[in-house]
Structures are given as structure tokens and as C-alpha cells.
Structure 1
Amino acid sequence: MCVKALMKIVSGVLSIVSVLLGVIFLIVGFILQFGLTTVVVNYLRTYINELNNYLKATGSSVDIETYIQQLPQITGNLAVTFIIMGIVIAAVGVIGLVAVCCEVKVMLIIYIVLLGILIAGQVTLIIVYYAARDTFISRAKTYMQDTINNKYSGYSNMNMETILWNVFHTSLGCCGITNGTDFASAKLWTRNVTYNSVSYTNIAYPLTCCRTSNYTGCLQSNHTSIQYTNLNVGCWEKIDTTVQTNITYAALGTAAIVLLQTLILVFAVHLCKGDSSKTQPV
């Protein structure tokens, strides 16, 4: 009896933790869907202000609040994913809590099945990501190149993609995906810029690929002076390093969640077996 009572307590606590995790996923999902504007604006404001300081000399500027409104459209699928995961994890946790506390065998069985499916799904996602990582990277680079080819417009009439590229260049000290040659196929970029009342035509690479220490020297040499340009520094490696670090943390977090759910599953199975043996005739 003591062992069973202990298992009920542990299972109940773990189920509560599962519910809380589900709520956290829900909150993240709602932030991505409805509150992303405020979060991103505050995070990027420093970089946007820095970018605007240099764009003033070109007669351009960025109204970050206006453009960030478009981000929920870009992150919509991710937000929905977090919301669905949050609902599922929280719902399974609630079912488990009721099943464990009330010792309802039918609910315990349903809980065990749902928990098993949830664990299998999460493990599958981790395996698929690491097995197909090269495919994901290839698609990401293809998408980024497409934004350069068909969206990047330089410094006037800037769309969201253009702003993000300019922010990447300015904040990370890089140029393009692999290097500045990625902009050779940009269709909307005019390759002309007026900086500090001086007009430069047929520039080889975007102004934001210049090092912020000397835009004038960079433009005058048309990016041929390495001391003034970041044209040989690709943004992908820098972005990927940050992304992979976060993915590693996410994978570790997911592994911890799976371990938690596995413990709950084991306890639930034992409780279910105990309930079955109790109802068997002597």
C-alpha cells in the first residue's frame, strides 16, 4: 500500500508538471501569434536604430513597428504548432491527474495510450530532424536565396525581407548567405545609392555589407578594400551557430520532457496493473 501511495503521489506531481509544461507551450504559441510584435520590436530596436543612423545618410529609414506587424504571418505555422502541442500536453496531463487520483481504470488505460503516442511522436520528431538536418539546411538556404533574388530591394521601399537582411548585415557583420556574390541575382535591387549627398552607381554589394566603421571608404572602393567590407563573411554560418545552439537546448529540453513522460507512463502502467489485480476474484 505504501508503494502504491508513493506511486500515486509521484504520478500526480509529474502530471501537474506535465500540465504546467503544456501551459508554457501555449503561452509561447500565443506570444508568437499575437504578441510577437512587441517582443521582436524591443529585441531589434537597438539594431534598427543603428541601421537607421547609417540609412539617414541615404535619405532612407526603417519604421520597425510597421514592418514587424508582418512577422506573425511568417511565424504563423510555428505558433500554431506550439499552441497545439501545449493543448495536447496539458490535456494529457489533466487526464493523467484525474486517472491517477481517482484510480479510474478506463482513464488510466486512455492515459497510457495517449502518453505512449505522445512520447513516440516527440522521439520521432527529434530523430527526423537530426536524420534530415542537411535537407532542412538546404531548404533554408534556398528560401533565403529566394528572398534575395525576389524580395531584396536595397534601401528604399523596404519590405520585411529587405529589412531583415539589412539587420543581419549590420548586427552580425556579414554579407549574404555565403558571401556578397549571393546578391548578383537580386532582381529588385537597383545597385545605386546616394550616401552623404554623393551618388554611387553600379555598386557591387549592398551598402549594409560595408563595415559600419567606414561606409564612405567602402563605397569609394566599391567593396574592393577588405578593411572596409564584410563581403567575404557569410551570414549563414553565424545564424546557423546561434540556431543550432538553441536547437541543442530545445532537444535537451525535449529529452527531459520525454524522460518525465516515460516515468509517468511507467507509474501509470503499475497503477493500472495494481488496479487489475485488486479486482481479480480470489
Structure 2
Amino acid sequence: MCFQTFMKILTGILSIVFLILGIALMIVGFILQFGKDVLVKYLEAYTNELNEYLKAAGAQFNVSDYIGYLPSITGNVPVVFIVMGAVMAVVGIIGLVAICKENKCALTIYIIILAVLIVGQLTLVIVYYAARDTFSARAREYMQQTIDTKYTGYNNTNMETVLWNVFHMSLSCCGINNGSDFLSSTTWPRYVNYSGKYYDSVAYPLTCCKLTNWTACLNTNHTDAAYSNWNIGCYNLIDRINIVYAALGTAAVLLLQVLILDFSVHLCRKAGEKDI
């Protein structure tokens, strides 16, 4: 009896955690879609340093001016977050009701839903890793398109430019594979007016310079690795970060669901014994 109560409490706690995760995912989705003020405050923490350096080049931008471009970058991601969060929240609520009632029928429905979710997530993970090269190639192609047709240097006239400059400075990298990705850019002006000095035929973007000494970087035209990150690509760094967080997040959610499923099956069996 004590073990049965313990299992019920533990399964209930895990279901509450699942519910909270669903609500959190929904909140992130709504913020991305509708929370302009929240996004501005969050992004300013990453762009203030960029702004300070750009002032010396006579450029400056306001994060709030670019939030309107965010939907074109994130696409349907906010909607996906909202839908996934809603599904997780509903499943969590169903689980809590089923566990509290200790009803075999309700627990069976809960178990089936959890099993479907687990199989679905495992399928998505398998498909992703099986076609990872395809996804990677498409991502690189899209990123190259933003460099070729959207990137405008340090003037920051669009969201793509802001994101590339933030990537360069926060990750200490340059371009997708390296700075040569900018050689095909048709929108990036290859000159810089920095600290009162004019630099013509600049090899790579100003933000590819290391933060320690932009002047030395420009004076050597990115040829000295001590002052430039031109030979360090951003894609692998971004991909590595995404894989770590995605892998940890997916593993945590799957483990949580498997534990809930296992405990729910046990409770369902006990509920069935009561009905006999």
C-alpha cells in the first residue's frame, strides 16, 4: 500500500513537471510571436557590446527597430513551440486526472498517448540524424543566401545583418566556413570608416575582427590571426551548441516520459486489480 502511494505521488510529480515544461514551451512561443518588449530587453544584453564598438565606426542601431524582421527569420518556429507546449500541457493534465482518480480507463488512455508521443519523438530524432547531412546542406545554403543578398556590413539595415554581426562577436567567428564566404556578397560594402580613418578594399567584415584590437585588424586587413577570426567558421560552432542543447533537452523529455509511462503502467495494473 505504501509503495502504491509512493508510485502515485511520484508519477503525479513527474506529470506536473511535464505540464510545467509544456507551459514553458508555450510561453517561449508566445514571446517569440508577440512579446516584442521582452525580446528587445533580452537581445539588448547581447547587442550593447556590439553597439559600443560600432559607434567608433559611426554606426548604431536600436534592437527594437529590428524585432519586426524576426518572423522572417524564425518562420513557423513560434507556432511549433506553442502547439508542442499545448500538447504537453494537455497530456500532463490528463495524466494528473488519471493518476488522482486511479481509473484504469483514464490511465490506459494516458499510457497510449505517452507511448505515441515517445514513438513520434524517437522517429523524428532518427529521421533527423539519418538526414542530417541534407539538413546541414540546406542550412548552409540558406545562410550563404543571407550573406550574398542581405548582409550589409556594420550599418545593420536588416535583421540578418544584426544576427551575423552578433554571431561574429559572441562566438568569435566569421562567416559560415570562414571569411571567404563574404567574397560573393553583393550587398556588403568593402570599406570601413573606423575611428576617423578610412579603410578601402577590406577583406572581411569589421565584426570578424577580434574584439581586442579592431584597429590592428583593419591595419593588417585581417591577415594576422592574432587580430582576426576570419579563419574560424560560425556554422560548426552554432551547430555544436544546438546539438548539445537539443540532445540534452530531447533526452531529458524522453526520459521523463518513459518514467511516467512505466509508473503509469504499474498504477494501471493495480487499478485493474482493484476492479476485480
Output the amino acid matched with 1:137: S
Larger radius of gyration: 1
Contact 1:116 1:265 in 2 (8 A): no
How many residues in Structure 1 have an aligned counterpart in Structure 2? 276
- Counterpart in the other structure of 1:92: 91
**Contact 1:7/1:271 (CA < 8 Å) preserved in 2?**
no
Give the Å deviation of 1:4. 5.8
Q: Is residue 170 of structure 2 the alignment partner of residue 152 of structure 1?
A: no
Partner SS for 1:189: coil
Q: Which residue of 2 aligns with 1:229?
A: 228
Structure 1 residues 116 and 197 mapped into 2: Cα distance closer, same or farther (>3 Å)? same
Which amino acid in structure 1 is aligned with residue 63 of structure 2? I
Matched residue SS, 2:30 = helix
1:146 CA drift (Å)? 1.3
Partner of 1:34 in structure 2? 34
Does residue 270 of the first structure (1) align with residue 261 of the second (2)?
A: no
Match of 2:58 in 1: 59
CA distance in 1: counterparts of 2:55 and 2:6, whole angstroms: 67
Measure how far apart 1:200 and its partner are: 2.4
CA displacement at 1:182 relative to structure 2:
0.3
Query: What is the TM-score when the length of structure 1 is the normalising length?
Result: 0.84
- Provide the secondary structure at the position in 2 that maps to 1:228: coil
The CA distance in 2 between the partners of 1:66 and 1:90, in whole Å, is: 34
Please report how far the alpha carbon of residue 168 of structure 1 lies from its aligned counterpart in structure 2 after TM superposition: 1.6
CA–CA distance in structure 1, aligned partners of residues 5 and 265 of structure 2: 15
Q: How much has 1:181 moved relative to structure 2?
A: 0.3
Query: Are the equivalent residues in 1 in contact too, given 2:11–2:99 (CA < 8 A)?
Result: yes
Q: Secondary structure of the residue that 2:193 maps to in structure 1?
A: strand
Q: Please give the TM-score of this superposition, normalised by the length of structure 2.
A: 0.85
> Which stretch shifts more, 221-230 or 85-94?
221-230
Which runs of 5 or more residues in structure 1 are unaligned?
none
Shift of 1:256: 2.2
Structure 2 unpaired stretches of 5+: none
- Give the secondary structure class of the aligned counterpart of 1:194: strand
**Counterparts in 2 of 1:214 and 1:13: CA distance versus 1, 3 Å:** closer
Residue pair 2:153, 2:188 contacting (<8 A) in 1 also:
yes
Q: CA RMSD in A?
A: 2.7
Give the alignment of 1:2-21 within 5 angstroms: 8-21=8-21
Corresponding residue number in structure 1 for 2:175: 176
Tell whether the 8 Å contact from 2:102 to 2:268 is kept in structure 1 after alignment. no
Once the two structures are superposed, what CA deviation does each residue of 1:205-248 show, in whole Å capped at 9, x if it has no partner?
11111223332332233222333322112122322232222123
Q: 1:170 to 1:4 in 2, by over 3 A?
A: closer
Residues in 2 aligned to 1:14 and 1:47: alpha-carbon distance in whole angstroms: 35
Distance 1:20 1:211, change over 3 A: closer
Shift of 1:76: 4.9
**2:244 corresponds to 1:241:** no
Query: Does the 8 Å CA contact 2:107/2:264 hold for their aligned counterparts?
Result: no
Is the 1:172–1:238 contact (alpha carbons within 8 Å) kept by the matching residues of 2? yes
Pair 19,169 (structure 1): closer, same or farther in 2 beyond 3 Å: closer
Write the distance in 2 (CA, Å) between the matches of 1:132 and 1:37: 37
